[in-house]
């Protein structure tokens, strides 16, 4: 009986659909458009499966200025209308830096060079077992001082601006705070965690009550890329589902597919952490919150955030689960700078640096703040 009633309902529903579609030309046109999209979806899906196109990321022209270990310093071609060069310090490990120069028209680096900045990118590189002894401290006292010197030498400028993104912010702020002799004219923190007591879900998972970093590194030697991937996937377990749903929805749109291919390539290319770096990162930052507390000493130099007195610009993202706005904003009250500004933009961690939202809401704010001070 129930089955009969169910069938009746389906039949009436289907008949009603056909009747209504026949009655309205507007709706017919919409169905026609939808069908065309459907065909286009199938065509693009077939192409993605049968002959996937390798996305051409990182197209902004650049030259290598310096290399140390796996790290590379690149200088990008630009009109260089601003006198002060910009050193961009991204995260170490986790992911590749081509996200910052993803595709023409959707590239942070392209935006900055078009705005006339003499732009330098520090690519920390992809690490192997031979790098397991590289520590956070090494990056701050051995790599960053040389990199800043190379930027000043090659640009011929008396000072530079430093821009830290994600983990690049604690790295570069530790450096700026402990090297007062380096002429840093401006400092920008984009989505970089500073106060790790407010760092959210990763802070809980890496809490010393639940995670023994020494045992982990002593056993594994390093944090493999697959584990980095697993950690980030766990952070948002439904992310892949919604990504694939959005892909299906927009699969008819060639421009979307091109962007998706590039972003998807980046999102699935994880980079391992050197063992000692990860140990120090977890122990001193996530578990000890030593940067914010001013308890770090690198290369015999105390790392005190209050030593930063240059103009400061801090950008947080409202829905950032990796570096929640509260832990990013903490830099504002920790420094001595008088000229300082904080903005909080919609979106997540990546939406500050990639995507249409970033190019509209974030990048122009960063470049205009910096332009007036460069």
Under the rule (CB under 8 A), what is the footprint of another protein? 2, 5-6, 9-10, 12-13, 16-17, 20-21, 24, 27, 30-31, 33-34, 68-69, 128-131, 133, 142, 146, 149, 200-201, 204-205, 207, 209-212, 215-216, 219-220, 234, 236-238, 241-242, 245, 249
Residue 18 or residue 49: which is nearer to another protein going by CB?
18
- Looking at the Cβ atoms of 53 and 234, the one nearer to another protein is 234
Closest CB 168 distance from another protein, rounded Å: 21
- In the complex, the smallest distance separating the C-beta of residue 202 from another protein, rounded to whole angstroms, is 10
- What strand order describes the sheet that includes 62-68? 62-68, 71-76, 119-123, 86-89, 160-165, 184-190, 312-317, 340-345
**To the nearest whole angstrom, how small is the minimum distance from the Cβ of residue 329 to another protein?**
20
* Cα–Cα separations (whole angstroms), residue 264 to 65, 72, 196, 224, 299: 29, 24, 29, 20, 39
Shortest Cβ 27–another protein spacing (Å): 4
Residue 338 CB, nearest distance to another protein (Å)? Answer: 31
Taking only Cα atoms into account, the Rg of the chain, rounded to an integer number of angstroms, comes to 24
- Coil, strand or helix: which one is 206? coil
* Beta carbon nearer to another protein, 59 or 287: 287
* Shortest spacing between CB 153 and another protein, in angstroms: 9
Cα 164–Cα 290–Cα 179 angle in degrees, nearest 5: 50
Crossing angle of helices 254-267 and 239-250, in 10° steps, is 160
Please say which residue, 68 or 80, places its beta carbon nearer to another protein.
Answer: 68
Question: Which residues are CB-contacts of 257 (< 8 A; sequence separation ≥ 6)?
Answer: 44, 48, 247, 250, 251
* DSSP string covering 100-132: GG-BTTB-HHHHHHHTT--EEEEE-----GGGT
On whether the CB atoms of residues 292 and 196 are closer than 8 A, the answer is yes
The C-alpha atoms of residue 115 and residue 102 are separated, in whole angstroms, by 17
101/131 with CB nearer another protein: 131
Residues in contact with 1: Cβ distance below 8 Å, sequence separation at least 6, in sequence order: none
Count how many residues are written for the chain: 374
Q: Read off the tokens for 198.
A: 């407010």
CB of 69 to another protein, least distance (A): 6
* CB 235, min distance to another protein, A: 8
Q: Smallest gap, in angstroms, from Cβ of residue 30 to another protein?
A: 5
Nearer to another protein, 19 or 339 (CB): 19
Q: Which residues contact 370 (CB under 8 A, 6 or more apart)?
A: 82, 86, 117, 161, 163, 186, 188, 313
């Amino acid at each position: 009986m129930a089955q009969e009633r169910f069938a009746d309902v389906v039949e009436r529903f289907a008949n009603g659909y056909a009747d209504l579609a026949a009655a309205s030309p507007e709706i017919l046109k919409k169905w026609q458009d939808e069908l065309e999209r459907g065909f286009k979806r199938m065509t693009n899906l077939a192409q993605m499966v049968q002959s996937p196109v390798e996305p051409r990321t990182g197209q902004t022209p650049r030259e290598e200025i310096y290399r140390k270990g796996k790290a590379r310093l690149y200088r990008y071609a630009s009109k260089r209308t601003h006198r002060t060069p910009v050193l961009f310090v991204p995260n170490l490990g986790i992911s590749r830096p081509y996200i910052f120069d993803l595709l023409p028209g959707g590239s942070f680096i392209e935006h900055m060079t078009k705005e006339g900045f003499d732009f330098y990118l520090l690519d920390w590189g992809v690490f192997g077992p031979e790098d397991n002894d590289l520590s956070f401290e090494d990056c701050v006292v051995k790599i960053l001082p040389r990199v800043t010197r190379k930027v000043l030498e090659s640009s011929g400028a008396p000072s530079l601006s430093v821009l830290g993104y994600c983990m690049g912010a604690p790295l570069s702020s530790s450096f700026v705070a402990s090297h007062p002799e380096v002429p840093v004219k401006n400092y920008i923190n984009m989505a970089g965690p500073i106060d790790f007591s407010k760092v959210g879900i990763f802070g809980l998972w890496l809490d010393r009550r639940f995670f023994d970093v020494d045992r982990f590194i002593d056993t594994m030697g390093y944090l493999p890329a697959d584990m980095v991937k697993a950690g980030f996937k766990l952070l948002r377990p439904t992310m892949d589902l919604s990504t694939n749903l959005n892909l299906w929805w927009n699969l008819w749109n060639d421009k979307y597919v091109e962007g998706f291919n590039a972003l998807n390539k980046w999102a699935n290319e994880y980079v391992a952490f050197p063992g000692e770096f990860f140990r120090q990162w977890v122990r001193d930052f996530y578990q000890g919150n030593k940067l914010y507390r001013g308890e770090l000493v690198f290369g015999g130099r105390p790392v005190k955030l209050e030593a930063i007195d240059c103009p400061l610009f801090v950008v947080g993202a409202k829905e950032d689960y990796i570096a929640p706005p509260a832990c990013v904003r903490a830099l504002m009250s920790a420094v001595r700078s008088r000229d300082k500004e904080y903005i909080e933009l919609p979106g997540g961690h990546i939406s500050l640096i990639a995507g249409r939202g970033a190019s509209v809401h974030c990048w122009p704010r960063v470049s205009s703040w910096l332009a007036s001070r460069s």
